[in-house]
Amino acid sequence: MSKLTELVNKHIRKIEDGLYSDDELIKLYRNIDAQTSLLDEDRERLIAAIEPALRVRWPRTAKKLFGPKDIEAREQLSRIWNAATEGVDLSRNRHRNGVKTGGAMMRGDVHVDVYISFKNEASQAVHLSIVQFKPGDEFIATLSRYVVGGAMGEVRRVPASAVASLTSFFAEAVRELA
């Protein structure tokens, strides 16, 4: 193990133990690019340790450095929405079109909660969400078909990395409901 890798491991342990202030984490993050001899693997490990630490303790700082915490989930859902609704008359959708922020994220119950949905006049709906409970947790995608005020229909859950597997189910449901 190289001395640089040992130093990276030491920094990661300190980050995980909460021993760095936000200023120190920012300086460490900025120094990652300046350190040309740092292996890509070590660079990625350091960033993977810094980002969740900042998101938990200093969310504004993290947003400035890494962008919105839900950007990847929003982009995934936006692609699915565009593919699923192509050629569909969206005037019958009783939900707002596009990606929306979930109530659990607004209340602060979860770290990330974004979704797309379609509901027709008969209150039949389909809902596809991506949720991350805490920074660093795996993103979970959930597809639900239901009748508002009635029993929950079909529910499918997969890691968000496999959300593409739910795309055809969502698109099919939207076409049926429209």
pLDDT in tens, the chain (178 residues): 889 999 999 999 999 999 999 999 999 999 998 888 999 999 999 999 999 999 888 889 999 999 999 999 999 999 999 999 999 999 999 999 999 999 999 999 999 999 999 999 999 999 999 999 998 899 999 999 999 888 778 889 999 889 888 999 999 999 999 9
Cα distance between residue 57 and residue 60, in whole Å: 9
The distance of Cα 142 from the centroid of its chain, to the nearest Å, equals 12
- Answer with the one of 48, 66, 84 that is the final residue of a domain: 66
Domain identity same for 124 and 154: yes
Q: Which parts of the chain are beta strand (E)?
A: 100-101, 112-119, 124-132, 140-147, 152-159
Cα distance between residue 89 and residue 68, in whole Å: 31
Phi, psi of 117, rounded to the nearest 5 degrees: -155, 160
DSSP state of 138: P
Cα distance between residue 61 and residue 26, in whole Å: 8
Q: Are 158 and 92 in contact (CB under 8 A)?
A: no
Domain identity same for 49 and 78: no
- Answer with the one of 20, 46, 66 that is the final residue of a domain: 66
Residues 6+ away with beta carbon under 8 Å from 106: 113
Domain identity same for 50 and 137: no
- Answer with the one of 36, 66, 96 that is the final residue of a domain: 66
CA nearest neighbour of 105 among 55, 54, 156, 149: 55
Total domain count, the chain: 2
Domain identity same for 79 and 102: yes
Cα distance between residue 174 and residue 143, in whole Å: 12
Over its C-alpha atoms, the chain yields an Rg (Å, rounded) of: 20
Domain identity same for 153 and 82: yes
Domain identity same for 27 and 46: yes
Domain identity same for 165 and 123: yes
Domain identity same for 61 and 33: yes
Q: 45 is in which domain, residue-wise?
A: 3-66
DSSP state of 37: T
DSSP state of 160: G
The predicted structure's pLDDT at residue 154: 81
